[in-house]
Amino acid sequence: MMPDTWDIAILGKGAAAFAAAIKASEKSSGKARIVMVGSGPIGGTCVNVGCVPSSICLRLLTDYTTQHGRFFPVWAP
C-alpha cells in the first residue's frame, strides 16, 4: 500500500529525477518516503530509447566487426 504522505516529491521520471531519488534515499539512509511524479517510463528518453540503446547497438556492431573482420551486414529496402 502506498503512503498518503511523502517526505520528498520529485517532478519527472527521467535520468536526472532518478538520480535525485537515489541521492535523496542515500542522504536519508533509506528512511525518506520518496515519490517520482511524471508520465512515461522511469529513466526517460536517454535510458529507454536514446543514448543507452544506441550505445548497445554500437557495441554489438563493434564486437561483430572485431570478430568477423567486416562490418555487420545491414540492408535497407
Residue 20 lies in a domain: yes
Residue 77 placed within a domain: no
Note the pTM of the prediction, 2 decimals: 0.57
In a domain, 2, yes or no: no
Domain enclosing residue 60, as ranges: 8-68
CA distance 65 to 74: 13
Q: What's the mean pLDDT when you consider all of the chain?
A: 84
**35 CB neighbour count, 10 Å cutoff:** 14
**18-47 per-position pLDDT tens digit:** 899 999 999 999 999 999 998 877 878 877
Residue 17 has pLDDT above 80, yes or no: yes
Residue 55, CB-side half-sphere exposure with 13 Å CA sphere: 6
Q: How far is residue 65 from each of residues 4, 47, 52, 53, measured CA to CA in Å?
A: 54, 25, 20, 18
Number of domains composing the chain: 1
The pLDDT confidence band at residue 74, using thresholds 50, 70 and 90, is low
Where residue 40 falls (left for φ over 0; alpha for ψ -120 to 50; beta otherwise) is left
